Amino acid sequence: MSSPKPEIGFCGLGAMGFGMASNLVKQGYSVTGFDVAPQSLERFKKEGGIPASSLAESAEGKPYYVCMVATAAQAQSVLFEGDKGIVKALPKGATLLLCSTVPSAYAQSVSQQLKDVGRDDIFFIDSPVSGGAARAASGTLSIMAGGSDEALEKGKFLLQEMSDAKKLFIVKGGVGAGSNMKMVHQVLAAIQILATSEAFGLAARLGLDAREVRDKVVRSEAWSWMFENRSTRVLEEDYFPGVSALTIILKDVGIITSTARLHNFPTPLSSIAEQVYFSGLAQGFGPNDDAGMVRMYYPDPVTKVNSTLPKEDASSKLNLVVCMLVGIHLCAAAESISFAKHVGLPLDQLYELAVDAAGGSIMFQECGKQMIEDLKGGESTLVASTGRRLDSIVQDMLAAVEEAQKTKCPMYLASGSLSLLLMARRGGREASAASVIDVWRV
């Protein structure tokens, strides 16, 4: 006879947390959940969950606890807020999973604070998640987990219940490694979300049909998961509120840039993206879907552009949009991989995670592997590569940015990427496209 499943406490029943907690209920667990929104608690009760009237009630007697709040500040409050906090109420030897996206420095501080308050008996796992509300509800999230061997052994079954069988990544390096892995993946996501808007903005100013742009890009080397996903919302103007608020990716890119400063490491494209997102926030776009950032590039709906271009001219301009995205995605791959190396992450694991996740792109798939193998060797081996030459991408980007300048179209990421590509090309005109990684080489 199998032993009964352990009781689980849960805090944070927002879009992602609700799906995660409800999925655990469906898997036969007794889940006691807490949220500050009464409607979320009522909804959770209808799903078979047990609503708690306080944080302490959600944690008392629970051998396992999942924290899925939005920010590090919220996590700090719910975990350590005196006698009312989760940590105080958890039983001896409990396992605590922090699934929120937070800076690795904060995750590491939780471990220290547990010791400081005399609760180092708690097994703590730093385990941010990715995948969206639908995958949360189906238990098929991507999870990046770091912690002690003992904590991971105790909590692995619960991580498996919430994740896709092929998307649970146990990241070596202890607490903080999971958050760092999520962070370097979000380098790709944050850049490629904005690149989608930049591409449609340029296309509109060039007089192109937006639907033809989408069709062309998703079948080309300019494909990214974010472009394919966000472009449908651009075409439908599904921004109010849409699926993923601008403030969410802004929080993530803020983690990237603050951690980069902590490590004295350059993240030029992430920093550009953050500044443009700040501009969108100032325009009141914060609660809107991040696909609505296209309005920073072209004020009217892009689908209202009535293309009258001759077929040959339209094809040439479509290629400029494709080339622009290729250059941005290539530099995004290099920024993500180089940052991962700098913070000591296993690069092969990053590749496995990102190539089939929201940060995936054709350029990451094709050039990321080359970059990783090159970094393992120490010295650059990409100068005389027989693959695609960096110079051809530079020439394409020059043409795209030149055309954008003629139309007075903002090209934040494209201009930044062009500068990086030109710096990389100083290594020689026969260099591989993947040699852009040399810009970050220390």
Instruction: Give the tens place of pLDDT for each residue, 402-419.
Output: 999 999 999 999 999 999
List of the chain residues with pLDDT < 50: 1
Residue 8: CA atoms inside 13 Å, Cβ hemisphere, count? 27
pLDDT per residue over 340-355, tens digit each? 999 999 999 999 999 9
Q: pLDDT tens-digit profile of 358-368?
A: 999 999 999 99
For residue 369, give both structure tokens: 């592997």
Phi, psi of 123 (to 5 degrees): -90, 115
Distance CA 196, CA 95 (A): 40
Placement of tokens 């993206």 in the chain: 273
Instruction: List the catalytic residue out of 154, 182, 216, 341.
Output: 182
CB atoms under 10 Å from CB of 57, counted, come to 16
CA angle 260, 265, 266 (to 5 degrees): 95
pLDDT at 426: 83
- The encoded tokens of residue 316 equal 């040439």
Rounded to whole angstroms, the Cα distance separating 374 from 358 reads 24
Nearest to 207 by CA among 295, 300, 293: 300
* Six-digit token string for 338: 């180089």
- The dihedrals phi and psi of 36, each to the nearest 5 degrees, come to -75, -15
Residue 1 is predicted with a pLDDT of: 40
Six token digits for residue 95: 């396992």
Give how far the C-alpha of residue 240 lies from the chain's centroid of Cα atoms, to the nearest Å.
Answer: 21
Report the C-alpha gap between 9 and 426 in whole angstroms. 56
Chain mean position to CA 253? 8
What token pair was written down for 245?
């608020």
Residue 4 pLDDT: 85
Contact 198, 329 (CB under 8 A): no
356 C-beta neighbours (distance < 10 Å), count: 15
| pLDDT computed for residue 382 by the predictor | 66
CA–centroid distance for 213 within its chain: 24
Q: What is the pLDDT of residue 136?
A: 95
> Which residues, other chains included, contact 402 with Cβ-Cβ below 8 Å and sequence gap of 6+?
none
Amino acid at 157: F
Between the CA atoms of 153, 155, 158 and 160, what dihedral angle is there, to the nearest 10 degrees?
Answer: -40
Q: Which residue ranges make up each domain of the chain?
A: 8-175, 182-440
Phi and psi (nearest 5°) for 309? -70, 140
Q: Is 433 helix (H, G, I), strand (E, B) or coil?
A: helix
Cα distance between residue 328 and residue 195, in whole Å: 7
Clarify whether 182 is annotated catalytic. Answer: yes
Evaluate whether 158 touches 41 at the Cβ level (below 8 Å). no
Q: What is the DSSP letter of 296?
A: G
Domain covering 182-440, topology: N-(1-d-carboxylethyl)-l-norvaline Dehydrogenase; domain 2 (1.10.1040)
Question: Which class does domain 8-175 fall in?
Answer: alpha beta
